[in-house]
Structure 1
Amino acid sequence: MQIVVFKLGEEHFAVETERVQSINDTMGITKVPKAPSYIKGLINLRGSIKSLVDINLLLNVTPGTEQNNIIILTVKDEEIGITVDEVEEVLDIDEKSIQRLDEEAAKEQPYIKGILNYDEKLLTIIDIDKLLK
């Protein structure tokens, strides 16, 4: 299993690479009036308009001072962008090394696939479909 590791504030998260379409630098964002608070706006990526989601709000994480990257993900046949502080690396991991949440925590946060202790960092692996349903 391959994952893309990214940083939000002081925390590290990861999504499966099979969901990632591209990683881009931050670009112009067009605000959308009356959009839900987690929608940052729209971006124009090579002539294709994509919704940009503020993943910090959905994960309840305080973002860093500067969000430098946008990850374009496929969620239910739609491409959306998420803003992250920084994309750090792509890792090949063994799924058996992922620590699953206990049942109670999994009910509270069903979008977390598990936790991975890697290189003295705790990576929270996100199920992007459950987070962005």
Structure 2
Amino acid sequence: MAETTGTSTTKINSYLTFKLGEEEFAAHVGKVLNILEMTKITDVPRAPEYMKGVINLRGSVLPVVDTRIKFGMTPTEFTPNTCIVVMDIDLEGESVHVGALVDSVQAVIEIDDDKILPPPSLGTRYRSEFIVGVANVNDTFIMLLNMDEVFSTDEIVDLHERTVESTMDGTAPAAE
């Protein structure tokens, strides 16, 4: 969506904001497929620490990642607000779905491109390639994430392979 003001055009982007601890992050809504309440997560043997396991999503096996661990934070403590944000991740041109555990979903907001500041170059504890920019919304800094980069190609391939393996060996959750 673009808004024309005089001779310039400003692109407006919609973002889903969510909390991890006390910090607020956002993912472009184009990457968000669904927001799910917490459900039973089935462990996957020998999975990386950040992979909590898999869930059944309408007959498909969905890998679920603890986003807090992925960002070097303490593991997610489950509360009534904890949920799974289902993301569509681009894996070398192929669409792969991943569930991201977040502490709480906040809102969908619109941010003009010209209001997005470049990511911080020093002092951030998150890998800079994860962050596409920072927006100051109502005196709160929100880190805008590149969800395709949050999950590197190698990690997505690993998650996808483990998910397929768990389906074949019967450790995946049964259809609901």
Change (3 A) 1:109 1:79: same
Partner AA of 1:79 in structure 2: H
Unaligned ranges ≥5, structure 2: 1-12, 153-176
Q: Distance in 1 between matches of 2:34 and 2:17?
A: 13
Instruction: Name the CA distance, whole Å, in 1 between partners of 2:120 and 2:84.
Output: 31
Q: Secondary structure at the match of 1:110?
A: helix
- 1:74 lines up with 2:70 in the alignment: no
Give the letter for the 1:69 counterpart.
C
TM-score of the superposition, structure 1-length normalised? 0.91
Structure 1 gaps of 5+ residues are none
Pair 1:126 & 2:145 matched? yes
Q: CA deviation at 1:61?
A: 2.8
Q: How far, CA to CA, are the matches of 2:45 and 2:28 in structure 1?
A: 32
Partner residue of 1:18 out of 7, 24, 30:
30
Instruction: Name the counterpart of 1:44.
Output: 56
CA distance in 2, matches of 1:34, 1:24: 25
Distance 1:4 1:115 in 2: 14
Spell out, residue by residue over 1:71-93, the C-alpha distance to the aligned partner (whole angstroms, 9 max, x if none). Answer: 00001210000001111100111
| Distance in 2 of aligned mates of 1:35 and 1:2 | 33
Q: Distance in 2 between matches of 1:103 and 1:60?
A: 18
Kept after mapping to 2: 8 A contact 1:10/1:64: no
- Pairing partner for 1:88 from 99, 106, 117: 106
**Alpha-carbon displacement from aligned partner over 1:84-106 (angstroms, at most 9, x marks no partner):** 11111001110111110255679
Q: C-alpha distance in 2, partners of 1:102/1:68?
A: 28
Which has the higher Rg, Structure 1 or Structure 2?
2
Runs of 4+ in 1 over 4 A off after TM superposition: 102-106
1:32 to 34, 44, 54: 44
CA RMSD of aligned residues (A): 1.8
TM-score, length of structure 2 as denominator length: 0.70
> Identity of aligned pairs, percent?
31
Aligned mates of 1:71, 1:95 — CA distance in 2: 24
Give 1:109 shift. 1.7
